Structure 1
Amino acid sequence: MLKNKRWSFLILVLTIFTLLAGTLTTEAAGGKLTDIEGHWAQQAISEMYASEIISGFPGGLFQPDDSVTKLQVVATLIRVLGLEEQAKEKEDDDVDYQLPPLNWGRGYLIMGVQEGMLDKDYLIQLGPAEPATRAEVAALVYHALKLNEDNSNLTFADSDQIPQTYRSCVAAMVKNKLMQGLPGNVFKPNDQINRGQMAVLLSRILENNFGGSEIQSRRYSGTISSVLSLDQSRWLVSINSGVNKITDPECEVFLDGNASSIADLKVDDKIKFVLNRSDQIAFINAARTNTEASGTNTNTETNATATSYKGKVASQLQIGEEYWLGITCSDGTQVTRPVTGGVKVNDSGSQKEVSSLSKGDYVEIKVSGDKIIEINSLTLSTIVGTVTSVRTSGLTLRSDSGTNTDIDVPDNVTVVRDNSTMTYNDVKVDNRIEVTVLDNKAQRIDILSAPNLEGVISELNTTGNYVITIRDDNGYTRDYVVVSDAEVMQNGSRISYDNLRVGDQVRLELNSKNRVTYIEIVGSESNKLTGDIRELDTAGTLGITIRNDDGDTLDYVVESDVEVVRDGSHIKFNVLSIGDRVKLELNSVNRVDYIEVVDEYNSTVNGKIADLITGSSPFIIIEKNDGSKSRYYLADNVTIDRDGESLHLRDMVIGSEVEAQIGNGKAKNIEIINDEDITVSGTVTYVSTSSKKITIKQLSGNEFSYYLRDGASLIDNSSHNISLYDVDEGWDVQLVLVGGKVSRLTQE
């Protein structure tokens, strides 16, 4: 119970507060972050957010697992040193060294040079928008805090991977307890540091009194002498040093490392708190010395009431002597908790250390008192079969034995095909798939083959094991083993496998072992055998080398009685010249038995720009209206125009509709028919939220800026609606243009 004189003091303070209530602000500085609950770094993030060292994104998001750029690291270090205002004043300063291209933060870099954090002679090589690695962050903090050099030996298992120039920096950071190793006694110097880890590092900087004087002056510690509710949202907290402060309505409270409330605090609790710029408490970290809230009881009763979670290991960190384990459940829920001391992983009747777990392992954790008290390894099952039904939240799979199995599919399921990440929408009826299942919920779906796998034969092996190599519409090539009794069909008739030719368009059917059992010729991609002659062998065994419109160089043996035609007349093979544009036909043994010299002098090609290569030998790939693609080198005097206006190569947008005049295989004139109502792709290089404008860089190297239409739809790669504030530089996006403005943006 509190002493009487303490009550008298509190009544006096309450009276003063009532008289001065009109002069105290109750407005929150920013509002709470909404996506850090349960995250292993939640406490440090909340502390740095309250200290105004870090900030969030629109919608209350922090995105703790996103990487941090080198410029963001410099900016936060400038803030933690209390130098942000000076940095902003230097934004337009003239300097005698070169700065890298920037969209923001020029003043931070100049201040970084002034403080000895950055070397002006190498600043141009910084790469400010690149993700920062752990070793790079160690070096930046080392120089920012002006730590003493430390050349002691590092004992990490991967110490040899730390660049020599960073080793003394890392050693000094470890010595000053600002950074430490990861589970398994590794440092992982080349791993990117994320926003949660950066918050922890900043918290340690302040905890060790390395922060700027103004920042440190807003941090207090002591023992609670009283805590009194003033109204529904504000409390008066007093500590033994005589400091009395009122809480901000949005004050974040942690008790023994767990998110809590001010009402849970008690007299004699150890406390550290942070004041905002309104002199109100914005963050509290409290500790209780008794075992009342320790949550470490692991008796039978505790285990019986523990909450169980099953999922995939997403993160594992060692903080001090304590392990933190994070898992992603099937429904996408993230659960991150500290592991009770002494707990091991139960695995098939034996036990192993928590540090032996790897990202992607499936486990069941049991949580009690907000700590993990039990960890069990999980063994998943796999089912292979053919999809017979696809639903929004599930599918039906028919196994090779004919058994049908219904499987639940959560929203965040991983879908993979040919080592590429897909989405659940890519799973179709008749796909052959392998499903990894936990509790009848799909954890991963591997698409083994499509129901109608089509492509162009690019290579054939007709000796030993039959192997066919096909190239699909996206340009991907894949090898498939063909069973010895595979059925090969053309125009309804069965033919020999030996009659297949490179360039044939085929449809394949695969068995359960992913081997080809059926091949049907559905067409011939003769344009792939059209190109410019690069080499000719006219003595001995005849040969020809061409480069086709896809840029592929193809070598063929030519039959001695080859038929060669130009302008409807037969000519001899040795009359051909290097540079002639020809179309080849192959016989059943892939030898050239027919050559036609193609005259494209006055041809006109309509389609859209599928690709554009600039440089010393520029060329354009046009996707024609029939879906085929052809490559054309640009003539030295090529003209490019749109609506009568002359354009440069840099003005051509991949995705534009064009009409091209071709002569001798080269584009002489290109007219842009439509570049305003099209779909374009590229990498985001700049976003202006004030003017609602986005700039992208295409594969050609050309950059284009587009304004957003009112009501434009913006979708991220998780199919979530977002705002322009959420779009980051470096995103690969697809833009749908209407009237030259963006009506839809999709992150790819």
Structure 2
Amino acid sequence: MKRITRTIVPFTLAGLLSVNGLLPAVADAASNAASGQFKDVSANHWASQYILKMGLRDVVAGYNDGTFRPDESVTQLQALAMVVRNMGLTEEAKKYESTAIPYSVPDWAKGSVALAISKGLIKPTEKNFYPDMPASRAWVAQLMVRMIDKESEVGKASSTLFTDGSSIPDWAKGYVDVAVANDLISGYKEGAGTAFKPNRAVTRAEMVTMLSKGERFLKIESANTRIGYLQSVSGNTLTLTDESGKEQYRYTITSDTQFYNGNVKTTSANLGTDSQLLVISENGQARYVEVINFKQKSKYDKAVLEKVFIEANTVVLRLADGKLQTYTIAKDAVIGAGMDRLKLSDFVNGDEVEFRLNTDGQVSELFRTGLSKAQSLQGSVYDVDKQNKLLTIKASSGKLETYQYSDITYVEYKGKRFPSIEDLLPGDEVKLELTNGIVSKVVVEAEAGKTNGGDVGTVKAISDKDRFVTLQGEDGKIQAYTVAQNAIITLNGALAPTLADVKVGDKVEFKVQKDMITSLAVKNRTVYNNKDLLSGSIFALDKKNRILSLKTTNGELKAYEVVSNAEILINGSSKKELDALDKDMNVSIQLNEDNKIIYINADNRVRAEVVRVNTDDKLLTVKLATGETKVYVVDPKVDITIYDVRGEDLRDLRIGDKIAMKMNGNKITDIEVERSFVYRVTENGGTYSNRLTVQDENGRSHDVIIDSRVTFSIPGIPYPRVSDVKKGDVLRATYLGDDLKEIAIVPNVYGQVVSVSPEMGRIVVRDLNGVTSEVTAAYGTTIQIGDRQYTNINVLKPGDRVQVAEATNGAKSIVVLTKVETTFNSLDPLGDRIYTAKQSYYLPDSLFNRQVNLQSLLRGLRKGDNVAIYLLNNEVYEIEKVN
């Protein structure tokens, strides 16, 4: 079970308590909860804080007589429904309403119960879910452990000594231990000991308390619930920021605002700067504020880099107080700039940095926050504004820098007579010189599209240990070189290649300085791009002479020699010898320029497509890769793995599913199911170059790691890197079982809705370049507007900004961007933040790339101008001046 981003949708509670003959009034109850005025919950009630918070979060509600009834017990069905809402799965549960379940429950609860089964919250095989039975403390302990995804710890946590431990059912003991260890539940003091009372029914007050304690394991943020760090409290305004400090959120404090520090009531005056807060708001007013400190805000010291000693792994920094300090870089230090990972050699004197020390006084994290002045004056031409005499370049960090030029600015452009600023083209590599802040000279070092490449050759010998490589140049001459310790190694598809990844026979491009290789790029192969692989099955294998005969997918037979140092993988595990391979194994192979095998990726599983599932007789009919249809007996203890599904069995298989099977004789013992999901990228890895944080169609958050086992593709980029993925991109992730196999960026359209034709199922979208596209919304299309999801395009209206992408089922996934209407105040001098009457917004580089006229639009804004700002995943996607 994954950590979950909560989507708030009003949940109908009518059925939840109807089993007791009592119907809660949701609107009145929410009002009561917001003010804490339940008739039977006094301000000093031990659970008043949790009752208030869960009411504001729509997890629970009061009754229509104005009471909460904190001491009333909850049934198992009621407890399960509360957990589903606490996890933010209300909307997803609606999709399961027609799913058959082995329980008799009211119609309103069927979706929640079916979803709970699919998520592993309850398991029919355990036969301990009785909807109308009071929920015992032992049963709730199990439910809470599953809610926070800690079931893997059951049986591993230290046993808790309760005076009545012998009365805890055997099936519940491990869950109780985990629940206690994670502070979800506790015992009752009895004399000198503590009793658990496993069979005692859980009350409504106890249930909301346990749900609240589980919040730190879930992502509960929504439209009205936010977690951030306190920036300031000024008057009646509370300002919150995200961890980076780039996003700000302001709330109005009223006399009704409730403040807590943990479980102790407090005031706004006692809130500490940078404290992590949970804020629940309504119409911009803070209704509930709690100091949670689940995660301390990262604190870094600022400095200017004065000297880098690469060979000694040491830096000299000038601290904020002007003092010089020398630090050693820790071996496992994280070094980067923004979302890019860097090497120490990428830093130059004068760079502005933020750093943090470990307990040994060594630098554990070092991030470049600003280029040195010398470095910032170099880059590629991004824009030339002739009217205002502004030259914008893109520095090596990716940051845009704008400089004023004049009529007498001198341009040095080799091959052009009397060059001027007007001769500069986007992409030209330039170096600038300033006089009194004005560009006095522009030196064009390379024209757009042309780079100063190095020499080329073929690797004849290599030693990673001794760091030398022998190369044969195009002229046939052979020469040995030492490879510098900080040399840049490039290998298509590899995330962080080293000299050890370079193979004999590789075609390389290299650069030499002072008789040492400073950069070496392999040009003839990629480590995991499947476009160049041959696929089939092993028809014959001569291990002595190292000859592999391949039967390709189209039936051809081909024989290849396997080089002695070939890389061999079987189901992702590295093997050294051909002995690990067997006849009939499915394989993908890669050849070098001599048509010899240098890479083998083998799979000992049978690949097939599901044709029919007979759950009664345990029979599975499949279509094999050869086109042959076969019927197999399924072992009663078959292990079925489907990504994001718990408690899988044969009933979870769908006709048309692609699967990988393992056999024991004629029986299937293991089945891994291939499933694809469409995600939107919300974060690109931070300092980890192979990690993406994404959000699925139900608003849940996932982390995907793209390593060498994952096929990765981006349209238009032959050899993509994870850094090529941008926040807001849409991708299709394909899993085989729980293993991520493929990531493909899905082309998407961003623009303004021009027209909507519900009867035709079509919308017309115009992008920022004025190009219109007609989008057909087939069955299954979803439209996301804020925290709500719709299936009918009539919720769209002309003028909406939307992102349209292909969904997994061939339909469309449409997200309507959040529109903020406000007035312009000012632009940050660096040009990367806009200040408005509501708040400030960070302007990422991707925004300037997408909205090409943005620079001129921003320069034309005056204080008080009306603007519309469009946000996707809290990032600015477009800015519009409104008349």
Larger Rg over CA atoms: 1
What TM-score, normalized to structure 2? 0.27
What TM-score, normalized to structure 1? 0.31
